Amino acid sequence: MANKTDSKTLDTLVENLRAAHGDNLASIVLYGSVAAGDHVAEHSDHNLLIALNRIALEDLRLSQNALRDWLKSGQPPPVYFTVEELSRAADVFPIEFLQMEKARKILYGRDPFEFVEISQANLRRQTEYELRTKLIQLRRLYIPASTSVEKLCALMSDSLASFAALFRAVLILHVQESPVSKADSIRATARLLGLNESPFEQILRLRSKSGKPLTVAEANSVFSDYLSQIERVIEAVDRIER
């Protein structure tokens, strides 16, 4: 649905939220691939963060009418934080906050990440945890996906976006520039760690629907190489001095 959401739709949403929350509304932030200009129409949503000065149940109910058309269009519900929570939660959400900080567009109010500080130790811990969790999940999902080449290609294509966000954290941990686009982050990480770039490039072509379709044997070969390279990334993060 991402390609069906234009600036007029966002403007209308902002006005509806301002009317709903009034002075309690501090910020509205568009973040992620759409804000970065790196979105793929069939895969990317418009991700919104809404910062309020306070959040009670009534404040969330006030959002119902403002968000009705937004949710009907297929967009995900916004993430709600209080301003104070944003300043205190950086120790448990360092990856998410870095992603928002790197690729964001302020639609209303002040920049909520202006004074957020990210700890390298917390970032390393969460990066390894998320990488290992997603690797385990990828292995599990391979079993049902391996019944068809279409399912297997979809699994690789969908999962790479999540790993790309984590690769940005890997680059930051190695004091490297973290590109905004998924493809650039993947390539930069592969160069940094001396990875085999081939499976990543093949999956990027799957996401963009360029190149010829893979056979069953080819898809399984790409998946095997993909897993191996993810394991190498995890090993590299694990070796970083804690």
Whether 134 and 107 have beta carbons less than 8 Å apart is answered as no
What percentage of the chain exceeds 70 in pLDDT? 93
- Name the amino acid, one letter, at 119: S
User: All domains of the chain, ordered by start, with CATH?
Assistant: 2-109 (3.30.460.10), 120-239 (1.20.120)
Task: Round to whole Å and give the CA distance between 83 and 81.
Answer: 6
pLDDT band at 1 (very low <50, low <70, confident <90, very high): very low
* pLDDT > 60? residue 242: no
Greater confidence, 4 or 38?
Answer: 38
pTM (predicted TM-score): 0.73
The first and second tokens of residue 121, run together, are 């130790």
User: Positive or negative, the Cα torsion across 204, 230, 160, 219?
Assistant: positive
pLDDT mean over 199-221: 93
Q: Which pLDDT tens digit goes with each residue over 5-35? A: 567 889 999 999 999 999 999 999 998 777 6
User: How buried is 180 (Cβ within 10 angstroms: 0-12 exposed, 13-18 middle, 19+ buried)?
Assistant: middle
Q: Which pLDDT tens digit goes with each residue over 99-124? A: 888 778 999 999 998 878 888 999 99
Least confident of 32-36, 181-185, 234-238: 32-36
Beta bridge partners of 81: 51
Sheet holding 79-82, edge to edge: 79-82, 47-52, 25-31, 104-109
Per DSSP, 116 falls in state: -
The first and second tokens of residue 234, run together, are 């995890």
Task: Round to whole Å and give the CA distance between 98 and 165.
Answer: 9
pLDDT mean over 129-157: 97
